[in-house]
Amino acid sequence: MKAYSVYNHMLLPGSFRGLENDYWHLRSSVQIWDVSCQRQIEISGVEADQLAQLLTVRDIRNVAVGRCVYAPVVDFDGGLINDPVVIHAGPDRWWFSLADSDLGLWAEGLARGYGMEVRVAELDVWPLAIQGPKSEDVMSLVFGEAVRSIRFFQFERLEFEGRSMIVARSGWSAQGGFEVYVDDADVGVALYDALMEAGGAFDIGPGGPNLIERIEAGLLSYGGDMTRDNNPLECGLDQYCSLSSDMEAIGLSALRAHSERPLARRIRGLTIEGPPLEPLVARWPLRGDQGPIGAVTSAAWSPRLKKNIALAMVDTGAPDLVEVETPSGSRSAEVGAPRFP
């Protein structure tokens, strides 16, 4: 491992061959990611459905057991607290697969304050992601052909060494793949080894979420591209906000109010001119003719597009050509959609 980050108080392995080599490898073969840091907050009990719905502005009342949905969690003002994948794990049982914030404290504080009959717990579950175009071939060798019929954002309980685990078709890349919700550390190690062995013919290797790949795909990172200072509409997550539904959800009325006014800013994509830039450590300011108009939140050199690509929070009404103030100087950039196919 060459680089890691800290995520939900745990280590997240980030790079193994260097950023660009990891990128090409992820696009062409298959990687195993230790994403144990995607902590699972389980909400269970007779009022679990009510609390789960209260926590997200996406209408999840018709999400069947066995399905997963990307579901923004916001505060009472509509500010993003987390953007988990929510898994309907069983009757009266929901798992929130977390981005980087202690959502369990929010959920339990609310549940206790409202006096709801639920249990909120962080599970001993350590997700393992198998990502890349060859992931289905490798997974079928380990879990059987049943994996091929799992549809996107659905899960089956499949067995490995006699242990039944949730296997979902999901993951934080656009290359396709699965996430296995490992709930036994010993089985996890054996599974890792089995996947490595089965994947030998497919050039399998370790990996992690890849900055270049996820910017190209427009996958936003909570804590980086979007924070509690942003509402999901600014982040282009409109389709995951059920503004016209009649369920009870925290922040829904605030979001409705936001939606009735013009947005002040919105996540956009930038193509920044010139040779590869240095890694972005802190946000780079953006300037238009009239002054500050936002900031770059993520940036990388795409070796495929041979361009600096970036995500940025940009004021509405900003021009199509802006200036980026990087630590190494000013660069022109073109504003467009927040994805780079």
148 binds a second copy per the rule CB under 8 A: no
Choose which of 113, 262, 275, 341 interacts with a second copy (CB under 8 A): 113
Q: Are 73 and 81 in contact (CB under 8 A)?
A: yes
102 versus 325: smaller Cβ distance to a second copy = 102
Min dist CB 276 to a second copy, Å, is 23
Contact with a second copy (CB under 8 A) among 22, 42, 83, 100:
100
Least distance in angstroms from the C-beta of 309 to a second copy: 24
Alpha carbon distance 161, 187 (integer Å): 8
91 binds a second copy (CB under 8 A): no
Q: Does 56 bind a second copy (CB under 8 A)?
A: no
The single residue among 1, 3, 46, 76 that binds a second copy, judged by CB under 8 A, is 76
CA distance 310 to 225: 10
**115/341 with CB nearer a second copy:** 115
Q: Does residue 43 bind a second copy (CB under 8 A)?
A: no
Q: Does 157 bind a second copy (CB under 8 A)?
A: no
Q: Is the separation of the CB atoms in 54 and 46 below 8 Å?
A: no
Cβ burial of 271 (10 Å; 0-12, 13-18, 19+) is middle
Applying CB under 8 A, does 325 fall inside the site for a second copy? no
Distance CA 158, CA 149 (A): 12
> Interface with a second copy by CB under 8 A: which range of 13-21, 108-116, 185-193, 291-299?
108-116
177: nearest Cα among 222, 217, 141, 132: 132
* Sequence-ordered list of residues with C-beta below 8 angstroms from that of 149, at least 6 positions apart, any chain: none
Measure the CA–CA gap between 276 and 168, rounded to whole angstroms: 36
Interacting residue with a second copy among 108, 213, 216, 234 (CB under 8 A): 108
Round to whole Å and give the CA distance between 268 and 333.
12
Q: Is 114 in the site for a second copy (CB under 8 A)?
A: yes
- Interacting residue ranges for a second copy, rule: CB under 8 A: 5-6, 9, 75-76, 81, 100-103, 105-115, 223, 250
